[in-house]
């Protein structure tokens, strides 16, 4: 829902600054539907064709897709690395703010400058951009169901972070193959303790899908509270199942949810990774002292991945992806340097 406390030009100014920063790092190459469809890794030259072959080779086995954060020509582009050889990456020509993939479908949320706007590029199994959809705001979160039949995005339509007093988001579920909209979460019926639950300040973000895709989890923010909801995309319903669990990410065995746990209060708030057991709703805080703001990804049933910023300037923001065991028995370790928005795919 829109928040009247936000100055009307705040989001527009923020978006303009981001777009200008992106342009300064080399501009955007983006693709729309074409015959034949454009490829996320080729612009027609020999080196791009070679990059496509490298991407195809990586994607034959388990891999991680991510946003490349290496300063230079590839900064901000969709990239891939084998889980068996993360030291070698193949970078496409498609710039993205957030990415996520299944074995058969991918989503790249982008800030475009020519023409200016926010767009979602839908990518098929052959790495072709088959659809480009207009987004109603600044890209924030993206998720694709493991079977590739549904996907979701979250964007900011007012405010520029999850700490903004005028936070307003849009979260929509859609078919990544056809771009057909399944529904905006604000239109779904919500219950709490078996009773209808509704407020004008509802905001949703951070969808994560179960293995059957139609079921999902997401964050509901209302009245200063952070709630975990479980939803049914087919029935267009959600129910509140817990509190203080933000930006969920469901484990491959669907026994745990990794999430961002809030600390602090007022204007001094930050997040660190934690895990909740869905059978008992017992929360385990993990040994990570740094602040995070990424939707956590699962490497496997016992390890999670998340980005940590390590440098920032007016021109270039830097981040690395770190790995952490959910038993809390070991410190985090570097997984992928100069990267963010990881998506682990096991064909």
Q: What is the DSSP string of 168-209?
A: EEEEEEE-TTT--EEEEGGGSEEEETTEE---TT-EEEEEEE
H or E element in which residue 272 lies: strand 268-277
- The top-scoring range by mean pLDDT among 53-57, 65-69, 124-128, 163-167 is 65-69
H or E element in which residue 12 lies: helix 10-24
pLDDT digits (tens, 9 = 90+) for 75-132: 999 999 999 999 999 999 999 999 999 999 999 999 988 788 999 999 999 999 999 9
Distance CA 153, CA 138 (A): 10
Residue 2 maps to a domain? no
Instruction: Find the mean pLDDT for residues 276-283.
Output: 97
Residue 4 maps to a domain? no
User: Is-above-0.75 flag for pTM?
Assistant: yes
Sorting pLDDT into bands at 50, 70 and 90, what band is 159?
A: low
7 pLDDT above the threshold of 70: no
Cβ(217)–Cβ(228) below 8 Å: yes
In this prediction, residue 267 carries a pLDDT of 77
1 pLDDT above the threshold of 60: no
Sorting pLDDT into bands at 50, 70 and 90, what band is 161?
A: low
Residue where the block lists tokens 């015959």: 35
Residue 3 maps to a domain? no
In this prediction, residue 39 carries a pLDDT of 55
Sorting pLDDT into bands at 50, 70 and 90, what band is 165?
A: low
Residue 283 maps to a domain? yes
Instruction: Find the mean pLDDT for residues 50-56.
Output: 89
40 pLDDT above the threshold of 50: yes
User: Domain containing 324: what range?
Assistant: 10-345
Residue 5 maps to a domain? no
Distance CA 119, CA 134 (A): 5
CATH number at residue 317: 2.120.10.30
Sorting pLDDT into bands at 50, 70 and 90, what band is 314?
A: low
Sorting pLDDT into bands at 50, 70 and 90, what band is 13?
A: very low
Average pLDDT, the chain: 86
Instruction: Find the mean pLDDT for residues 229-258.
Output: 97
In this prediction, residue 122 carries a pLDDT of 98
In this prediction, residue 114 carries a pLDDT of 75
274 pLDDT above the threshold of 80: yes
pLDDT digits (tens, 9 = 90+) for 168-209: 999 999 999 999 999 999 999 999 999 999 999 999 999 999
In this prediction, residue 9 carries a pLDDT of 39
Cβ-based neighbour number of residue 347 at 10 Å: 11
Domains held by the chain: number: 1
18 pLDDT above the threshold of 60: no
Q: 291 in helix, strand or coil?
A: coil
Residue 63 maps to a domain? yes
Q: What is the bridge-based pairing of β-strands 256-265 and 246-250? A: antiparallel
In the chain, the N- to C-terminal Cα span, in Å, equals: 38
- Comparing 89-93, 273-277, 314-318, the range with the smallest average pLDDT is 314-318
Residue 1 maps to a domain? no
48 pLDDT above the threshold of 80: no
Distance CA 59, CA 56 (A): 5
Sorting pLDDT into bands at 50, 70 and 90, what band is 41?
A: low
In this prediction, residue 311 carries a pLDDT of 72
Q: Among residues of the chain, what percentage have pLDDT more than 90?
A: 75
Residue 273 maps to a domain? yes
Sorting pLDDT into bands at 50, 70 and 90, what band is 47?
A: confident
In this prediction, residue 162 carries a pLDDT of 62
Sorting pLDDT into bands at 50, 70 and 90, what band is 313?
A: low
């Amino acid at each position: 829902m829109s928040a009247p406390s936000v100055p009307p030009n705040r989001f527009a100014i923020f978006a303009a600054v981001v777009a200008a920063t992106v342009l300064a790092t080399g501009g955007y190459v983006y693709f729309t539907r074409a015959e034949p469809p454009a490829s996320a890794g080729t612009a027609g030259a020999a080196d791009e064709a070679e990059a496509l072959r490298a991407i195809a080779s990586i994607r034959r086995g388990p891999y991680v897709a991510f946003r490349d954060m290496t300063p230079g020509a590839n900064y901000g582009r969709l990239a891939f690395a084998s889980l068996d050889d993360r030291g070698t990456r193949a970078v496409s020509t498609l710039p993205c703010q957030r990415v996520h993939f299944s074995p058969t479908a991918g989503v790249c949320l982008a800030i475009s400058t020519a023409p200016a706007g926010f767009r979602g590029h839908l990518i098929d199994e052959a790495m072709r951009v088959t659809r480009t959809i207009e987004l109603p705001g600044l890209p924030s979160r993206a998720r694709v169901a493991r079977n590739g039949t549904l996907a979701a995005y979250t964007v900011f339509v007012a405010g520029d972070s999850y700490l903004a007093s005028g936070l307003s988001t849009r979260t929509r579920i859609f078919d990544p193959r056809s771009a057909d909209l399944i529904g905006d979460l604000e239109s779904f019926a919500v219950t709490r303790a078996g009773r209808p639950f509704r407020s004008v300040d509802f905001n949703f973000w951070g969808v994560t899908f179960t293995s059957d895709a139609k079921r999902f989890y997401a964050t509901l923010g209302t009245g200063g509270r952070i709630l975990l909801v479980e939803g049914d995309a087919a029935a267009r319903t959600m129910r509140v199942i817990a509190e203080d669990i933000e930006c969920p990410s469901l484990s491959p065995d669907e026994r745990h949810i990794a999430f961002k746990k809030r600390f602090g209060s007022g204007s001094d708030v930050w997040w660190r990774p934690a895990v909740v057991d869905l059978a008992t709703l017992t929360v385990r805080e993990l040994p990570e002292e740094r602040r995070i703001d990424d939707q956590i990804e699962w490497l496997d049933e016992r390890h999670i991945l998340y980005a940590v910023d390590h440098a920032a300037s007016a021109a270039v923001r830097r981040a690395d992806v770190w790995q952490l065991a959910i038993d809390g028995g070991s410190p985090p370790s570097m997984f992928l340097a100069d990267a963010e928005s990881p998506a682990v795919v096991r064909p």
